Copies of this chain bind each other. A is one copy, B any other.
């Protein structure tokens, strides 16, 4: 087997591992978030909003690296669920401001035990946790330098 063919084997490793780990983590969140009526991407949006209540779609997209094609329908579902409201900003009618409802704020308390449960499920000690985070950031920085947004 030549070098190129080896690549097509080794290849599958790291990138596939990131992809598989992402799906495995999503699966771990599912039962916890189901109790809150959220999917994992919806939970991420709520996390951002719990930190800073009023955000435009664009600001959410920048933090989550998601575009309006993903966020628009997701935010509508969260609005239907009663967790937030969407309204055009008066100062610039192109922007849509997202605000939590009381139910959306209340959900934060119910979610308070989720992070610890997940951390537990990941099975990493503190230093491995930080090391993994560092390596993922390095990968993202490199990849985005080559294929910018």
Contact = CB atoms under 8 A, between A and B. Distances in A.
A147 B14 contact: no
Interface in A87-116: 108, 111-116
Contacts of A68: none
A37 interface: no
B9 A136 contact: no
Interface residues of A, number: 66
B47 A133 contact: no
Interface string A21-38: 111111111110000000
Interface string A1-41: 00011011111111111111111111111110000000010
A69 interface: no
A21 B115 CA distance: 20
A44 B16 contact: yes
Chain A contact surface mostly? helix
A11 B47 contact: yes
A46 B118 CA distance: 33
B136 A15 contact: no
A110 B21 CA distance: 28
Nearest to A25: B15
Contacts of A25: 15, 18-19, 139, 143
A5 B109 CA distance: 9
* 5 closest Cβ pairs, A-B complex: A123-B142, A7-B115, A4-B112, A11-B115, A22-B22
